Structure 1
Amino acid sequence: MICREQDGAFVMVKQHEHGLLAGEFAKWFKEEHTPAEGRREEVLRAVSNHDRGWIDLDETPFWNDAEDAPYSFIDFPVVPKLTFYRRGINEVEADTPYGALLCSSHFERLIEVSGEECPELTRYLQDEAERRARIHRELEQSWPLEEGELYYDARLLQFCDDLSLFLALSEPGSAESEKHPWFADGFSGSEEFSFTSGRAIQAEWQDNATLTLTPFPFTKEIEVSLKLRRVSRKDIEHKGIALAYKETPEEECRITVISGAGEDDVQVKTSTGERTAG
């Protein structure tokens, strides 16, 4: 679960919902910088499904007493988190082995950044290294990777993941000083795309309905949506996190992505409508 607190409520976004949004961003990324046509559909499916291991886990959120907040993907206990990481990658591999190679590499980077250590984590990293080596061998026999192909696709997944996270972790119209520290200096790694000329893509809210990204990473105006729930602290205190979450109506944040005043800008306009809780 992706969580942030706002005005006495926790804004909660399911991990797979965030992943589907990342997949939409990948779909419209500048064509001259997208994967080779032959493996493009596999890459898009991998980006959309990279967090599918959380699907069942996010049906019922858990409360973190130490933080006085719901557990999120950031502080969820390591051992069960690894179990669901592995499950998700297994499901991706059943659809696309190359996609599993991409997702496995992505999670390895996240684990390295987190600095977590435990015997179960060491074993997980060993198992995933063996998975990647096996997939590499299989691809060499059937469809060898081009030079730099995996590296580029990993950058694409990282950026689309980060942009989707930015929207899930941001209150539209929030001040620059309130920006999540992960994105204070732009989207890490985005400076490696050739169209950025070495600049990290920057995000800035112009008002409560408009976000600009510079440089502009997409080929056209796009429309996406993000489903979320605003679960009040008061309801959690009275009902517990599981029931409060279940009874909170789901909202759909509709997002239109258009080019800004300059060709390097993209504006994201948002509006929110309620849906019946499912």
Structure 2
Amino acid sequence: MICREHDGTFVMIKQHDHGLLSGELAKRFRSEQVPEPARRAEVLRAVSNHDRGWIDLDETPFWNDAERAPYTFIDFPVVPKLTFYTKGLDEIESDTPYGALLCSLHFERLIEVSGEDNPELTEYLEQEEERRTRIRRELEQSAPIGEAELFYDTRLLQFCDDLSLYMALNEPGSPKSEEHPWWKDGFSGSEDFGFTEGCVITAEWKDKHTLKLNPFPFTESFEVVLPLRRMPKAEVEAKGIARAYRDTPQQEFTIVITDTEGNV
């Protein structure tokens, strides 16, 4: 679950909904420099489904007593989180082994960035290394993977995941000074896309429904829809988190993604 607090509410977004939004971003990404377009459909499915392991977990949110807030993907207990990561990767691999390779590499990077270290994580990383080795060996027999292709596709997944999270973790319309700290300096790794000419892609809210990007990474301006629930804290206190979440209707929040001039 993704969660932010705003005006006495918990704004709740399901991980898989965020993943599907990532896929919508990937579909519209500039494609003139894709090293190997043959696996494009698989890459898009992988980006859309990279967080599908959270589907069951997010049906009912869990309460974090220490933080007096819902558990999120950031602080959710490690052992069940890794169990569902593995479940999601197994499901992706059954559809697209190459997609599972991308997602496995993506999760490995997230774990490295987090700095967490415990026996369960070590075991998970070893298992995923075995998965990736097996997939690469199998694909070598039919459709070998180029290093430029793998580098580009992992960067695409990283960027679309980051931008989707940016929209989920920042209250739309908030100024740069109040932005989530992860992206104050732009999206790490985006400078590797050729069209950026070495510049990091940055984002900034023009208003409560319009997000500006520079350099602009898409083929045109477009709208996306982010499903969310705004759950009043008073309702959580009165009913408990599970019932409050169930009783809170889902909203569809529209965001326009555009260039630095705000053209649509």
Cα distance in 2 for residues equivalent to 1:118 and 1:146: 33
Cα distance in 1 for residues equivalent to 2:80 and 2:235: 27
- Whose RCO is larger (CA < 8 A, sep 6+)? 2
Cα shift at 1:31: 1.5
CA deviation profile, 1:140-168 (whole Å, cap 9, x unmatched)? 11100123111110000000000000000
1:153 aligns with 153
Give the AA of the match of 1:11: V
SS at match of 1:148: helix
* Between 208-217 and 183-192, the greater mean CA deviation after superposition: 208-217
2:180 aligns with 180
Asked if structure 1 preserves the Cα contact closer than 8 Å seen for 2:201 and 2:214, the reply is: yes
Relative to structure 1, is the Cα distance of residues 201 and 234 closer, same or farther in structure 2, using a 3 angstrom cutoff?
same
Asked if structure 1 preserves the Cα contact closer than 8 Å seen for 2:229 and 2:249, the reply is: yes
2:112 aligns with 112
Asked if structure 2 preserves the Cα contact closer than 8 Å seen for 1:224 and 1:255, the reply is: yes
1:190 aligns with 190
Asked if structure 2 preserves the Cα contact closer than 8 Å seen for 1:225 and 1:254, the reply is: yes
Runs of 4+ in 1 over 6 A off after TM superposition: none
2:166 aligns with 166
Relative to structure 1, is the Cα distance of residues 150 and 189 closer, same or farther in structure 2, using a 3 angstrom cutoff?
same
Does 2:77 align with 1:84? no
1:209 aligns with 209
Cα distance in 1 for residues equivalent to 2:106 and 2:242: 30
Cα shift at 1:35: 5.5
Q: Which runs of 5+ in 1 are unaligned?
A: 269-278
Asked if structure 2 preserves the Cα contact closer than 8 Å seen for 1:212 and 1:267, the reply is: no
Cα shift at 1:223: 2.5
CA deviation profile, 1:49-81 (whole Å, cap 9, x unmatched)? 000000000000000011110000000000100
SS at match of 1:10: strand
Cα shift at 1:193: 0.6
Cα distance in 1 for residues equivalent to 2:157 and 2:33: 13
Give the AA of the match of 1:189: G
* Between 225-234 and 140-149, the greater mean CA deviation after superposition: 140-149
Q: Which runs of 5+ in 2 are unaligned?
A: none
Give the AA of the match of 1:195: F
Asked if structure 1 preserves the Cα contact closer than 8 Å seen for 2:155 and 2:189, the reply is: yes
Cα shift at 1:120: 1.1
Cα distance in 1 for residues equivalent to 2:168 and 2:43: 22
SS at match of 1:133: helix
Relative to structure 1, is the Cα distance of residues 260 and 117 closer, same or farther in structure 2, using a 3 angstrom cutoff?
closer
1:142 aligns with 142
Q: TM-score, normalised by structure 1?
A: 0.92
Asked if structure 1 preserves the Cα contact closer than 8 Å seen for 2:210 and 2:258, the reply is: no
Asked if structure 2 preserves the Cα contact closer than 8 Å seen for 1:213 and 1:267, the reply is: no
Give the AA of the match of 2:251: E
Q: CA RMSD in A?
A: 1.2
